[in-house]
Structure 1
Amino acid sequence: MTTYYRDPDVLITSSGVHMNGREFRLPELLQVWHTRGDRSWSVIAKRGALGLAILLPLLVGALAIGVALIVHTDVAHSIAMLIGGVLVGLAVVPVADLLLERVDRSYDAGSRTIEIWGRVQGGEVLLLRTTNAQRFGRIYRALQRAMEPAMRP
């Protein structure tokens, strides 16, 4: 028996599928397909907020440098504002790395609900519902590999 995918909730092998608390032998699954739900605008808004959180300190640093160059003050104040602007810009680099990592994770998780459905003798059954796009892709590919006619015993 070949195991195509395994996690605490899903098991896909060459002999059967265990998903959503139900078990099916592969010959019982006549067809498998997926559907995508509507976008979650809250997830998209969070991504936008993270982008602004990255850009805002850079804009403040650039503004401080611009003001230092435009405003006619003594040299000491101009140098202090230039150094302050550069430091604010540099201070955002470690924070930006953390925020960009969160943005990456939000894309892995996805912004919509994805469902895997199957057709069996008795009708259609919901096999899996998730918002994690990366996990969905792994499970769906494993299910397709398991259901390939050449792979069936």
Structure 2
Amino acid sequence: MVTYYDDRSVQVTSTAIRVDGRTFPLAEISMVWHRRGSRSWRVLAGRGAIGAAMAGPLVAAVLGVGLAIWLDRSATVTTAIVGASVLVGLAVGPVADFLFERLDRSYARGSRQLEIWARWRGRPVQLLRTGDALRFGQIYRAVQRAVEQAHPARPRG
């Protein structure tokens, strides 16, 4: 038996697909397909919040420099305002790596619910529904490989 994918809730082998305790023998599966759900506005809003968090200190620094120039105070006050603004702008540095990592993970997970369906014993059955695009891709490719091996294409003649 060959294992194509295995995690805590999904196992794809050369004989069956097991999802959350349900088993679907490959011999009883005739077709596999996937569907994409609608976008999750919550995920998109989270990405926007991460972008705002990265841009916030930089915008504050630019506004501070503009304010220092607009106030037209003494050189000491202007220098203090510009210095404080630059320090606020530099605050984004240490936080940027963390935020970029969160943003990257957000895109890896995706913003849609993804479903894997199969024709099992002649009727459509939803095998899996997940919002994790990376995991979905790994499982879907494993299911495709398993089904291809279980039902090899016959040459036309």
TM-based fold match above 0.5: yes
Residue 27 (structure 2) aligns with: 27
Amino acid corresponding to residue 13 of structure 2 in structure 1: T
The answer as to 2:9 corresponding to 1:9 is: yes
CA displacement at 1:21 relative to structure 2: 2.3
Amino acid corresponding to residue 72 of structure 2 in structure 1: H
Residue 72 (structure 1) aligns with: 72
Q: Which runs of 4+ in 1 moved over 2 A?
A: 66-71, 149-152
Residue 133 (structure 2) aligns with: 133
Residue 148 (structure 1) aligns with: 148
Counterparts of 1:108 and 1:149, CA distance in 2: 28
SS in structure 2 opposite 1:148? helix
Relative to structure 2, which stretch is displaced further, 101-110 or 54-63? 101-110
Counterparts of 1:8 and 1:60, CA distance in 2: 46
Counterparts of 2:149 and 2:126, CA distance in 1: 22
Relative to structure 2, which stretch is displaced further, 68-77 or 79-88? 68-77
Counterparts of 1:150 and 1:9, CA distance in 2: 22
Amino acid corresponding to residue 16 of structure 1 in structure 2: A
Counterparts of 2:46 and 2:3, CA distance in 1: 37
CA displacement at 1:36 relative to structure 2: 0.8
SS in structure 1 opposite 2:91? helix
The answer as to 2:67 corresponding to 1:100 is: no
Amino acid corresponding to residue 6 of structure 2 in structure 1: R
Extract unaligned runs of 5+ from structure 2.
153-157
How many residue pairs match? The answer is: 152
Distance 1:23 1:138, change over 3 A: same
Residue 62 (structure 2) aligns with: 62
Distance 1:150 1:117, change over 3 A: closer
**Cα deviations by residue, 1:39-91 (Å, 9 ceiling, x for unpaired):** 11121112112111111111000111222234321111111111111100101
CA contact (8 A) 2:43 2:106 kept: yes
Counterparts of 2:121 and 2:139, CA distance in 1: 22
Extract unaligned runs of 5+ from structure 1.
none
Counterparts of 2:142 and 2:78, CA distance in 1: 62
Query: TM-score w.r.t. structure 2 length?
Result: 0.89
CA contact (8 A) 1:14 1:151 kept: no
Amino acid corresponding to residue 98 of structure 1 in structure 2: F
The answer as to 2:52 corresponding to 1:52 is: yes
Counterparts of 2:151 and 2:125, CA distance in 1: 23
